[in-house]
Amino acid sequence: MPSELLVQLLIIVAMMGIFYAIVLIPERKRKKKYKETLDSLSVNDKVVTRGGLVGKVINVTEDEVVLESGPDRVRLRFTKQAISTVVSKKEDKETKKEDKEAKKEDK
């Protein structure tokens, strides 16, 4: 009898370990990457908010960002957590310019 109880207990512990490995570890990595993304926001980054608004970062403070969006250049203030993804970073644009210049020099 006690050995059957021990086997059942080990199965439950193993299932909890598998759940932890499959669900919780990747979620922690995703949260860490998202936090790093928010911490690295800078002026002129293009971002998408959780509501679907696409805009360019104009100002960044500790908790908030100011986005400029649309042809009328409307400025809106959001909390950093409202940012869903960064579409393009300022460094990406600089890298593209350097790549174009390097291609011109090669020709």
Q: Is it the case that residue 81 has pLDDT exceeding 90?
A: yes
Q: Is it the case that residue 105 has pLDDT exceeding 90?
A: no
30 with 38: CB under 8 angstroms?
no
The SS3 call for residue 35 is: helix
Long-range contacts for 29-37 (Cβ within 8 Å, ≥24 apart)? 37/83, 37/85, 37/86
- Look over the chain and give the mean of its residue pLDDT values, rounded to a whole number: 87
Model-level pTM greater than 0.75? no
User: Taking the domain 42-107, which CATH number applies?
Assistant: 2.30.30
Q: Is it the case that residue 9 has pLDDT exceeding 60?
A: yes
Handedness of CA 77, 81, 85, 88 (dihedral sign): positive
- Which tens digits make up the pLDDT trace of 31-70? 999 999 999 999 999 999 999 999 999 999 999 999 999 8
pLDDT band at 92, cuts 50/70/90? low
